[in-house]
Amino acid sequence: MSENTVYNLAKTLHKTDELEKDFSQMLSGLRDTIEKEYLLKIRSAANTEKTFAVEHPPREVTLLRAMSAFMDEDGKRQIDRMTKSLLFLHTMQHIQRSVEDFSAGNLLEARSAEGGISEDLPSPQSAKMAGLLLTLALTDQF
């Protein structure tokens, strides 16, 4: 007598616990991959941009910080908010310039780790997307 394939398939499909477990494992793997391959790189790039802005503040931020010493606590808080806003704006401008430079074909900044220009350069649209993702990641940090 031959095997009843309909019965075997129905039996497999009836066990939804296994299916839910399989989907859960797939989603977990997908989440881990997205976190490692994309989100960590975006956050790292955003941290690098923020660190650059903090270490190389515009003159206005330096002036506000100097003025802060002569303010009361409320004034210091207001200056701190203004400083963060200016640093955020300065960082956004730096990112925008980088995107524009790349899109215009200025490849000096688009060098590979080996020091040469990569054969597989990203498109200007990818550079714009990178700028947007950096902007979104930085809104959380300032």
d(CA 56, CA 54): 6
Domain ranges of the chain: 5-139
In the DSSP assignment, the letter for residue 37 is I
Q: Which of 86, 96, 101, 106 is nearest to 130 (CA)?
A: 96
d(CA 137, CA 142): 10
The DSSP H or E segment spanning 79 is: helix 73-103
Please, what is the angle between helix 73-103 and helix 59-68, to 10°? 170
Does the pLDDT of residue 116 top 80, yes or no? no
d(CA 4, CA 133): 54
Residue 12 confidence class, pLDDT cut points 50, 70, 90 = confident
Which of left, alpha, beta for 120 (phi over 0: left; psi -120 to 50: alpha)?
beta
Tens of pLDDT along 47-105?
A: 999 999 999 999 999 999 999 999 999 999 999 999 999 999 999 999 999 999 888 87
d(CA 138, CA 98): 16
Is the model's pTM score more than 0.85? no
pLDDT score at 43: 94
